[in-house]
Structure formats: structure tokens, C-alpha cells
């Protein structure tokens, strides 16, 4: 099973680049092209939040049109830049797994790996939350899985990453949330977005994974007390490949044209080449 994870589209109205500068809509198109170029094709695509920049209907129309180019199932979740109601209104017809009301949680049971999508949004806030109601929902879903391999995906990481500019806008969770995750070793990863950088850390007995954005990235800055800045480093997405014998293995795939694949053919004068190979 192969899963592509895209994150943080931040679609904008036509002609209005983000921060006056970032053409996020062209970046979505590039990301979808990059997924379509994968061979073998992924079995499904996750989009881990911030699909729109301002939660506008025009932004969701752009997202919807791009995602319709993907032939495989697509699973979307809202982020803090989305508006839950307009998100569900714009995408609910295409994605029947989205609940008609309340939190936009769901579980996908169609693959060897279960997919549990968690809605972490707090309306009007940059940070997110797994409140008691959401944690109770997750508790039940995990119990239903009876130990089958599982990926949890959500927008806000439920863990700190040691970067002050990011850690001030986290996902608030209770102490029991970490215990719940740790109680389920079948959880292969907790996949997130929001921080616009590729980040991994150990979390509650599993791996916490943050995918980069498809457009702008957050600049790496490990100095204490500094704020976030964005930077136009190469965009990328995650490819999570699962096999029974390995579990999930996560790869990072840059988006963009980096030239053709080339064979590893050594120059005849390559100094490290064995003597016999020169004949």
C-alpha cells in the first residue's frame, strides 16, 4: 500500500498570491502533477489541512478542481486556515466520508492499513486541540481496529518539535492522549502538517511525522525565542509505503523539475574503478 501525503495547499483567490508573493495555486497544480507522475501510483492521497488560505469558497473551488485530477481516493482534513463549514460545504459532495456535521473525523477501512483522520481545528485559532470529545472518539476507533496497522493523520502536530516559532501554535492534548497512542503499538505514525517543514520525532511509542508544504516552507531556525519566517525552499510531499514485512517506510519526494533520471555509469578514468573494469 502506497500513500501520498500532501499538506498545506493554502489556495488563494485567483490573482492574489499568499503574502503578496507565493503562487500557492500553481504549487497545488505542481503537487498534483507530481503525484500523477508516481509509478506505481499511490493507492490513496492524504491532504493534511490548510487546503485554503482564508476558507473562501473561491479557494475551495480551486482545490476541488485540482484534486479531481487524481484518480485515486483522496482524504482531506481541515487546518487552522480552513473554515470547517465552508470546507465541508465545498468538498462534502466529492468526499462522502466527510461527516455532515460536527468534527470532520473519519476512519477508512478499505486498505491493509487503517486510516484515521482527526479534526484538530479550533475555530478562529492558529493552534489546535484534541479535546475530551475528540479523544473519546479516537479511543473507540482504535479499539475497533483490533490491532490492525493504523495511520493517524491530523493537521496540528500533537507534539512539540523543539522550535519555538512552531511550538507556540501546537495541538493541545491531554496527558491521556499520549497514553492512548502508546497503548496502541499498531499505530505506525501520527502524520501531520501545519509546520511546513519535514520533521520527525519519537512520540508516545510511535513516530510523529510532519510533512512539508506544497508551496512555501517555514525556515529552519533552532534559536530559542525566534519567530517563524517562510522561505521558498523546494516543496515536497511524503510517500508512505507499507509492506507487511517492513511496516510503513516514509520517503520525501521533492516537487519540481530536477532533470531526468541518470544511470550510475562510472567515467572510464574514475580513480576508484577496479583495474579489470578498464578493459
Binding site for Fe ion (CB under 5 A): 8, 50, 79-80, 194
| Nearer of residues 60 and 242 to Fe ion, judged by Cβ | 60
Closer residue to Fe ion, CB minimum distance, 206 or 217: 217
Q: Residue 9 CB, nearest distance to Fe ion (Å)?
A: 8
- Pick the closer one to Fe ion by CB: 79 or 158: 79
Q: Residue 216 CB, nearest distance to Fe ion (Å)?
A: 9
Q: What is the DSSP string of 98-167?
A: S-SSSS--EEE-SSSSEEEEE--B-TT-SSEE--HHHHHHHHHHHHHHTT--EEEEESS-SS--S-HHHH
Kindly tell me which of 141 and 194 has the beta carbon lying closer to Fe ion.
Answer: 194
Task: Tell me the closest approach of the beta carbon of residue 80 to Fe ion, in angstroms.
Answer: 4
User: C-beta of 212: minimal distance to Fe ion in Å?
Assistant: 10
Identify the sign of the CA torsion 209, 232, 41, 69: positive
- Residue 206: in which H helix or E strand, if any? strand 206-210
Least spacing, CB of residue 26 vs Fe ion, in Å? 17
Helix ranges restricted to H, 131-265: 132-145, 164-167, 175-182
Smaller CB separation from Fe ion, 48 or 250 = 48
The b/e string for 216-251 (b: 16+ C-beta within 10 A; e otherwise) is bbbeebeeeeeebebeebebbbbbbbbeeeeebebe
Amino acid at each position: 500500500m502506497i500513500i501520498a501525503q500532501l499538506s498545506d495547499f493554502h489556495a488563494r483567490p485567483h490573482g492574489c498570491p499568499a503574502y503578496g508573493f507565493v503562487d500557492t495555486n500553481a504549487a497545488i497544480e505542481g503537487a498534483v502533477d507530481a503525484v500523477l507522475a508516481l509509478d506505481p501510483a499511490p493507492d490513496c492521497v492524504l491532504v493534511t489541512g490548510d487546503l485554503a488560505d482564508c476558507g473562501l469558497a473561491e479557494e475551495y473551488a480551486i482545490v476541488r478542481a485540482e484534486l479531481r485530477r487524481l484518480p485515486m481516493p483522496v482524504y482531506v482534513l481541515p487546518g487552522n486556515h480552513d473554515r470547517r463549514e465552508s470546507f465541508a460545504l465545498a468538498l462534502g459532495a466529492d468526499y462522502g466520508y466527510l461527516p455532515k456535521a460536527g468534527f470532520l473525523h473519519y476512519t477508512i477501512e478499505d486498505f491493509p492499513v487503517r486510516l484515521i483522520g482527526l479534526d484538530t481545528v479550533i475555530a478562529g485559532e492558529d493552534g489546535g486541540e484534541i479535546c475530551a470529545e475528540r479523544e473519546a472518539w479516537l479511543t473507540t476507533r482504535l479499539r475497533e481496529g483490533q490491532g490492525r496497522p493504523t495511520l493517524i493523520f491530523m493537521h496540528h502536530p500533537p507534539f512539540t518539535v523543539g522550535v519555538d516559532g512552531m511550538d507556540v501554535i501546537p495541538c493541545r492534548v491531554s496527558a491521556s492522549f499520549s497514553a492512548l497512542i502508546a497503548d496502541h503499538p499498531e499505530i505506525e505514525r501520527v502524520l501531520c502538517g501545519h509546520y511546513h517543514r519535514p520533521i520527525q520525532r519519537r512520540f508516545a511509542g510511535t513516530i510523529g511525522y510532519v510533512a512539508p508544504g506544497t508551496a512555501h516552507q517555514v525556515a529552519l531556525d533552532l534559536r530559542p525565542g525566534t519567530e517563524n519566517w517562510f522561505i521558498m525552499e523546494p516543496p515536497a510531499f511524503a510517500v508512505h509505503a507499507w509492506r507487511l514485512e517492513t511496516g510503513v517506510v516514509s520517503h520525501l519526494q521533492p516537487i519540481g523539475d530536477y532533470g531526468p533520471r541518470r544511470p550510475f555509469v562510472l567515467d572510464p578514468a574514475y580513480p576508484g574503478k577496479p583495474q579489470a573494469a578498464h578493459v
